[in-house]
Structure 1
């Protein structure tokens, strides 16, 4: 399977495991085994095997970034804002996820941040929901892995809170928003009725 490394090296974009297997004339399982071996070999070297689902790519190690940038004459990577990092973290851990779901968790409008992250190719459209408006579900990209020096999403740091608790918090916040809106509408209707009753009473008193 020594030719696998050559294919990954010349690939212009992340390659599918099935595509690599077809080119090498082997089964996908054999490619998976070879990728695992290659990843182990690269652990102490300057390259990494990056995975996202069934797509694979070769990339330079994160610790080599300053030297690569200097050699290629590239400017230092522009840092992301705190808002962008928070949004990106939500997408990374909960993907695929819609804008509405992200905003429910952050509590603020995320349109501008999502456009920035998309422009920097750190996130992308995974699919569209078959609901009204066909909202986009976002997910991270290979550029996201490169930016943070990850080989795959399994290398993301573990969360301190359990998923169910976070989900319940988000649902509670959404429910509270609905309750507040309903309370405001109810109060508005009550005030209008009170004003009409008061006007009717005043009119009746004047006629008498």
Structure 2
């Protein structure tokens, strides 16, 4: 269990049981068993950290109600304006770059470049503009268990996101 916990804690992304087994030189069955026990332990101790399941992957993360405290103290990986651009793309996807520019302004190009470099969005040429969508990495990074744009939109609405921001 300690090896599984160490691997999850150290990982920057959600991991499959097989990935954890490979890193820890363990059997997948043993990792699955340890994962069940660890998840139960974290749930029972009622702390700020949880082991969440996202599809068929696992991640150690702050519980939703504590994210704002961790964010306040932690290093912000994305500037607030870039994060806002990402939220708009995620909520309205597929969205054209030209429509996004009308909403945000010319800084949008810089934001899109950064988001593409980080692997959170991708674009596909459509006439004279580019249609933007979020990637699987976006879902994993932000802990969103959704595969369709409609599901991501529902996630934002459930989380209290405001589509007019």
Normalised by the length of structure 1, the TM-score is 0.42
Normalised by the length of structure 2, the TM-score is 0.50
Of structures 1 and 2, the larger Rg is shown by: 1
| Greater RCO (CA < 8 Å, at least 6 residues apart) | 2
Higher helix share: 1
